[in-house]
Amino acid sequence: MVKNVRFIKVRQHGRVKELRYTDNGKQKSIYAKTVKECRIKASKIQVQSKKKIVERSYTFIQWYEKWLHLYKKDVLKSETYKNLVSLFNKYILPYLANKKIKQITSEDIQKIVNGVKDYPRQQTICYTQLNACLNQAYKLNIISYNPCIAVVIKKHKGNKGKALRKDQQQELLNYLENHYNEVNNLVLIYLNTGMRCSELLNLKQTDVDRNKNEIHIRGTKTISSDRILQTNKQVVDLIPFSPFPFSNWNKSKVEREFKKITSALHFDKITIHSLRHTFATRCIENGVDMVVLQKWLGHSSITMTIDRYTHISEEYKKQQQSKIKYNF
């Protein structure tokens, strides 16, 4: 805002008048032929400055909707975008919606984060997205600091998940061969590519190169998740010839149908994501280079591939142990 406007007398070297003022601590000047013209210009600057202040006095929901529209809607895939909106609607907006964004404190955010107890990782996701929203406001000088800085969250140790044993994998393949379910082809693709659930569902026909047997996975989770996956003709042929092969599916529907299969087989705690773990484990057991596997899975670091996606079987461990030459 324009403050402390004061007039400076005309200097001897010309006929131009100068009106000096301070704006947020910075000294500035207005020049005109007459004092009256200087004051008119100054009043216009004051009006514009007050208008900016009003525009930036957002309530949280006003800024959140703007942030969502400008910075998220055209960047995220539809399913990810829906999940983001759902997250804010459930955990954040009920507490911050009508609060002025400049009045939000670290304590406000800490209470919200502490209240997320559905499952451990959700707390981290909630904090991360709220931090991104407020950090953008900070970058644009809408708020003077990001209150998320002082928030403390419990570090979540990711669940390693569960992979199918070899005998379970064969049971699953036998079941798919003898029992029809509309999810069968998707299950086979997940099992043979290690794709994330949403990556397959968002596939376009233009992402499939049927001559080279390659699939372009346009992931958004990390930079590395956008990748080319080399596979074979059998896998590629499971993908229908249509612009959006799996547009009539969503994650909930896939999980629901796959649950019917795992229940029939009496598999405990096996989800659609377990097929990704299974793919990684079979790759390691068959000698696939870890760096290559990292690229196939779309991980940003090889550490994640090693720590979370390889469930080495006891049988494989014994095979490797037999290679050791003991010296006595």
Asked if 322 contacts 315 with a C-beta cutoff of 8 angstroms, the reply is no
Cα gap 68→247, rounded to integer Å: 24
Q: Which residues contact 102 (CB under 8 A, 6 or more apart)?
A: 57, 142, 143, 144
Q: pLDDT at position 7, please?
A: 45
CATH, domain 166-321, list 3.30.450.20, 3.30.70.3270, 1.10.10.10, 1.10.443.10:
1.10.443.10
Rounded distance between C-alpha atoms, residue 114 and residue 325, angstroms:
53
Contact of 201 with 246, CB cutoff 8 Å: yes
Between CA 302 and CA 306 the distance in angstroms is 6
Convert the pLDDT of each residue in 125-176 to its tens digit.
899 999 999 999 999 888 888 999 999 987 655 556 788 999 999 999 999 9
Element (H, E) at 123: helix 120-139
Residues paired with 40 in a beta bridge: none
- The residue ranges of the chain whose pLDDT is under 50 are 1-5, 7, 10-13, 53-55
Report the DSSP beta bridge partners of residue 6. 20
In this structure, are residues 18 and 10 in contact, taking their beta carbons and an 8 Å threshold? yes
pLDDT of residue 294: 87
Query: Taken in order 186, 190, 196, 202, is the CA torsion positive or negative?
Result: negative
The DSSP-derived string for 133-186 is: HHHHHHHTTSSSS-GGGG---PPP---------HHHHHHHHHHHHHS--TTHHH
pTM given for the model? 0.58
User: What local confidence, expressed as pLDDT, does residue 25 receive?
Assistant: 64
Dihedral, 120, 122, 128, 132 alpha carbons, nearest 10: -170
User: Cα–Cα distance between 88 and 237 in angstroms, integer?
Assistant: 40
* Token digits of residue 272: 């659609």
| Beta strand pairing call for 26-32 and 17-23 | antiparallel
Degrees, nearest 5: CA angle 317-321-323: 130
What is the rounded distance in angstroms from the CA atom of residue 41 to the CA atom of residue 138?
30
At the topology level, CATH places domain 60-150 in: DNA polymerase; domain 1 (1.10.150)
Structural contact between residues 85 and 93, judged by C-beta atoms closer than 8 angstroms? no
Phi, psi (rounded to 5 degrees) for 274: -65, -25
Q: ∠ CA(291), CA(232), CA(175), 5° rounding?
A: 100
Q: Which of 151, 180, 175, 149 minimizes the C-alpha distance to 164?
A: 175
Predicted pLDDT of residue 162: 85
Q: What DSSP state is assigned to residue 100?
A: B
Q: Note the pLDDT of residue 56.
A: 56
The residue whose two tokens read 């904090």 is 127
Give yes or no for a contact between 142 and 135, defined as CB atoms under 8 angstroms apart: no
